[in-house]
Structure 1
Amino acid sequence: MKQHTVRTYKSAEPLARADQLAWKIAEVASDPVAIEADVVEMIGNRIIDNAAVAAASVARRPVASARAQAEAHPFQPGATVFGLNKNERISPEWAAWANGVAVRELDFHDTFLAADYSHPGDNIPPILAVAQHCGLSGADLVRGLATGYEIQVDLVKGICLHEHKIDHIAHLGPSAAAGIGTLLNLPAETIYQAVQQALHVTTTTRQSRKGEISSWKAYAPAFAGKMAIEAVDRVLRGEGAPSPAWEGEDGFIAYLLGGPKAQYIVPLPEKGEPKRAILDTYTKEHSAEYQSQALIDLARRMGPKIGDLSKVESIVIHTSHHTHYVIGTGANDPQKMDPKASRETLDHSIMYIFAVALEDGGWHHAASYAPERANRANTIALWHKISTLEDPEWTRRYHSHDPKEKAFGGRVVVTLKGGSIISDELAVADAHPLGARPFKRPDYIKKFRTLSDGVIAPSEQDRFIATVERLTSLKAGELTDLTFTVDAKQLGSRTTYGIFDWQHDAPAKRAATR
């Protein structure tokens, strides 16, 4: 890997195109390196992982709304949408939109955390949609996805967005555009322009993850994927983008990140170096913010030691800066302690999550967030006894570059009435590559079958898994098999209408659903 210094340049200051981050990304994307076997295996795992989460979320309102928007944009040859018949084709950017929401809705797929945060599996919906639409092969798809993961992970390693309250999809737009560029075997010049446009239009604030968190948290990465497809389409027609996007005097770093004096170091593969960044990422066993994963596992372990939870006086979670300030009491969000809060908000409350995991001895993607679950009196009482504290050592380990030292968990101190103390700690989740039970292909398949149970027919589950198993041998036109179809009743009834499916009686229909 080569370390690239990125900073702001005044307009009068020379900055050759070859020295711009967007060009360096484009060079990586256009480098036709072979994809190594363990990377291919992991790409297949993450395709399964995304489908698993999409199956569990297919009938949820945000997913149904995005799917309805997509269905208003039929196109041939087009791309597939989770849940629909594979012969029902949608314009690729809208298919990516619908599938992107389905994949993110439950906060249950892969993650990578470093200088910033990310869910690199968000690259899969837009890159796959373009591959399906353009009639490409499994080998083409693997190349594109390897690039998408590589670029997003490398940007996340080098550039912190959250410090400046910029949402992490600002790394996803460029990575998806780069992945599409690799997929289509585009020249560096075209990818360079597309990456810059994608950055320009996917820079948003982190208010989407603060306060009253709405379903936009699931839509945000879908938006980035859709914008990436549109960026590539536009530059293929000969149009350019704001340049230099990162380094410009009025650009991203100068006014939205650290300012004109800031410098960032972004690692990127050398020419001819394999793209292996997907192997640095990790998926979730539990449907919750990644920093919750190890703490849910720790709650499962500590519950029997504590016994009667009514005897708990207080619980303090000593953890990293991120966990404390984003999903802990350091956020100073009263909504994180509110039993009437949205699922999206509870997903970002480690106090709620730890309380429920202690009581239930585990976590369920739906039942653990149900309003009746959040409103139990004993749960509320326990929940409000939990607080977080930033521990410098856990923050240091969170930012460590040593995979064996890097940690996302914390130390939990439980004080019982009477003064006795029970404490324990866990650095990484059980499913983490260095955890007690690292996820392998059988675990991804189990997750898919568990979340698909009662949603996708067993024969359709089998067909989908068999398709992934021969990923690199899929021929042109066969990528449309990388989806699943469900019975129409599993999609739920249409309850929302908008501009795209406007009808003369639409106002009456909307009124009837209120």
Structure 2
Amino acid sequence: MTTTTEIAEFVIETEFDDLSGETVDELKKRVLDSIGIAVGAMGEDPVEAVRATVEEMNGEGCTLWGGGAASPPDATMLNTAYVRYLDYMDSFLAPGETPHPSDNIAAIIAAGEYEDSSGKDLLTAIGIAYEVQAELAWNAPVRDRGWDHVTHTVISATAGAAKLLGLGSEEIRSAIGIAGTAHNALRVTRTGGISEWKGIASANAARNGVYSAMLAKSGVEGPTNLFEGQKGWKQIVSGDFEVDFSPGERVHDVMTKKYVAETYAQSAVEGIIELAEGEDIDPEDVDSIHLDTFAGAKLIIGGGEGSRYEVETKAQADHSLPYMLAAALIDREMTNAQYDPERIQRDDVQELLRTVDVAEDDELTDRFETGEMPAIIEITMADGTTHRVEKDDFEGHPNNSMSWEQIETKFERMTEARYDHSRRERIVDTILQLENHDAADLVALLD
């Protein structure tokens, strides 16, 4: 039976030398990808509202990416919101849950800056957080029980922060107990009419994780039997489960997003762009679009948790398969530009999205659960001609993972409007050699 003590022991025992060279390389990719996405989100209204709230607290101790200072929890709140808001972050593909382990990175960098941690310490803590989040998602999914996946994030962020804050075993158990008792999130965030909180919820979870760890460090006692205790997490939130921790190896099962779109849309978006370009499809001649997909995609972005045809905001658009497929077919790309309010409201995409039919296919669900991300798209033209494409996965899926060079290209694209070439080059080089730097070297480049 998995216990709170087991997680505490994993946090304490895992060191940088336990991470394989391949794992260290993948963790560095996660850091570069996340920082690039965060920079690309700067200036967006919802995250700037978070900044205004954080700045009102007048805290200090950690760097706010984009300039300013705040306490470790508040810096975590804003910086994680930057990483998460665009829906361009990474994802761990478990059969019953799809969390975003990059939600932990800003929390760990904040804790590391506060504690003057080394780059090796940062990478170790990130590896721990990725492992905890992935193992919980794989073995203790909570989506079907009505909980949001950031319920896992608050525990993984606590574990990573606890490592850098130097907590002992009992303190870690208390920190995890505080986090997992007080901060379980409801799935309503991602059902029905979706609000902007969808893109901010994980920042709140990460912030609470750092705060829980800091409380425990200061001597606040929490329930030390969170998982196994009477009326504890297993009884109320997840059901019984077992985990099998390795030193950060789960990072190899994490995907990188090629498109600014919800995780489960990646293969379908890639497929429809390939069809549009390869067949030179005129959107005005399209009669209908049909997508066969797996159960999770149908549930989350295909209409299983509320209509995905009423699309007025970015938060609704990036969780609507009909919108994403229509926009991708018309524009032959899926970037931030496709979520501009004027683009969302335009008649061409609003009319085309209503021709999109999304169907769940049991065989595709089986394929998803054995490691693919399948999608079958058929576009029927006004003259009856049908164009079809079938995808097993996409560029960025663990079966077709991105190289460092590809992630660096994504980073360049997301940051070139804010940072000059010299600054971008220094950020890339610092992350590439992070084991030879410390947290302060990295955050000094993110103003």
TM range (shorter): over 0.9
Provide the alpha-carbon RMSD of the alignment. 1.9
Q: Distance in 1 between matches of 2:242 and 2:57?
A: 41
Aligned to 1:449: 412
- Aligned to 1:290, which of 263, 273, 277? 263
Aligned to 1:96: 76
- Aligned to 1:344, which of 306, 315, 319? 315
Equivalent position amino acid for 2:66 in 1: G
Query: Does residue 333 of structure 2 align to residue 362 of structure 1?
Result: yes
Return the offset for 1:225: 1.2
**Secondary structure at 2:429's aligned position in 1?**
helix
Aligned residues: 443
- Aligned to 1:425, which of 351, 373, 390? 390
Q: Deviations over 1:170-192 (max 9, x none)?
A: 11111111112222343222212
- Decide whether the 8 Å contact of 2:122 with 2:439 is kept in 1: no
Query: Does residue 434 of structure 2 align to residue 484 of structure 1?
Result: no
Q: Specify every segment of 5 or more residues in structure 2 that has no aligned partner in the other structure, as ranges.
A: none
Aligned to 2:292: 318
Q: 1:344 to 1:235 in 2, by over 3 A?
A: same
Return the offset for 1:476: 7.0
Aligned to 1:474: 437
Q: Deviations over 1:434-466 (max 9, x none)?
A: 23xx31111222111111122223322222222
Aligned to 2:348: 378
Query: Identity of paired residues, percent?
Result: 27
Equivalent position amino acid for 1:448 in 2: F
Q: 1:71 to 1:371 in 2, by over 3 A?
A: closer
Query: Does residue 424 of structure 2 align to residue 461 of structure 1?
Result: yes
Q: Specify every segment of 5 or more residues in structure 1 that has no aligned partner in the other structure, as ranges.
A: 6-19, 401-405, 486-514
Equivalent position amino acid for 1:454 in 2: A
- Decide whether the 8 Å contact of 2:376 with 2:388 is kept in 1: yes
Which 4+ stretches in 1 moved above 4 angstroms? none
Q: Distance in 2 between matches of 1:220 and 1:309?
A: 36
- Aligned to 1:165, which of 146, 150, 153? 146
Aligned to 2:128: 147
Instruction: Give the stretch that moved more between structures: 30-39 or 136-145.
Output: 30-39
Q: TM-score, normalised by structure 2?
A: 0.94
- Decide whether the 8 Å contact of 1:180 with 1:229 is kept in 2: yes
- Decide whether the 8 Å contact of 1:26 with 1:188 is kept in 2: yes
Aligned to 2:3: 21
Return the offset for 1:360: 1.3
Q: 1:254 to 1:311 in 2, by over 3 A?
A: same
- Decide whether the 8 Å contact of 1:132 with 1:479 is kept in 2: no
Whichever of the two has the greater Rg, that structure is: 1
Q: Distance in 1 between matches of 2:3 and 2:224?
A: 11
Return the offset for 1:73: 3.8
Query: Does residue 235 of structure 2 align to residue 254 of structure 1?
Result: yes
Q: Which has the higher helix share?
A: 2
Return the offset for 1:121: 0.5
Return the offset for 1:249: 3.0
Q: TM-score, normalised by structure 1?
A: 0.82
Aligned to 2:282: 308
- Aligned to 2:240, which of 244, 263, 275? 263
Q: How does 1:59-74 map to 2 (within 5 A)?
A: 59-74=43-58
Return the offset for 1:64: 1.2
Return the offset for 1:356: 0.9
